Structure 1
Amino acid sequence: MSITRKIPMRTCVGCRSKKTKKELIRVLKRPDGEIQLDPTGRQNGRGAYICADPGCLAKARKNHGIERSLGCAIPDEVYDRLEEEMKQIGQ
């Protein structure tokens, strides 16, 4: 008898589609307030998930999805930095 494991599903804050946790990138708000990408998905802090697509980041920026999930305002510089980090991870 084989045991089936539950696959963790998360919702992208940009396009609102449900995908497996491994397909999405975690945006992390650390306890000190810094916002960064967490490619491992294991760092401490409040997290929101987003597709690895720059279009989803643009949608999340427009509809304030990340801000709503993390519970804080996010300056434009942070969105620009997240976009650059996302490009580096995608390579």
Structure 2
Amino acid sequence: MMKQRKVPMRKDVISQEMKPKKEMVRIVKTAEGEISIDPTGKKSGRGAYVSLEPDAIKTAQAKKILEKTFGIDVSADFYTELFEYVDHQKARQELFGERK
């Protein structure tokens, strides 16, 4: 019998729900106060996870969730970039199914 591997879970800063890490994307704030998408999940800095739900990104922007999470101003351009990234990743997951 195969041993079930533990699925790493992370909290979505938008919905406050725990979800599998691979269904989310990490956003990182560097020591310099710059914010970026971290597809590898390995950049150093303060990380926060959001689920791959384009609508949630719009909610986050409207409610300034990333600003509250990181304590910095987040540009509309970053939200646009994040929305496009999430939208693309979600489409890929739907196209290719579960990626391991």
Unaligned runs of 5+ in 1: none
Report percent identity of matched pairs: 35
TM-score of the two chains, using structure 1 as the length reference: 0.78
Write out aligned runs for 1:30-69 (5 A). 30-69=30-69
Quote the Cα distance in structure 2 between the aligned partners of 1:25 and 1:82. 9
Regions of 4+ moved over 3 Å: 3-8, 87-91
TM-score of the two chains, using structure 2 as the length reference: 0.72
Residues 38-79 of structure 1: CA deviation (Å, up to 9, x unaligned): 111111011111001111111111222211111211121221
Count of aligned pairs between the two proteins: 90
Residues 3-60 of structure 1: CA deviation (Å, up to 9, x unaligned): 9875432221222221122221101112222211111111101111100111111111
Asked which structure has the greater RCO (Cα within 8 Å, sep 6+), the reply is: 1
Structure 1 residues 45 and 55, CA, compared in 2 at 3 Å: closer, same or farther? same
Quote the Cα distance in structure 1 between the aligned partners of 2:88 and 2:30. 21
Find the residue that maps to 1:80 and give its secondary structure. helix
Q: Which amino acid aligns with 2:77?
A: E
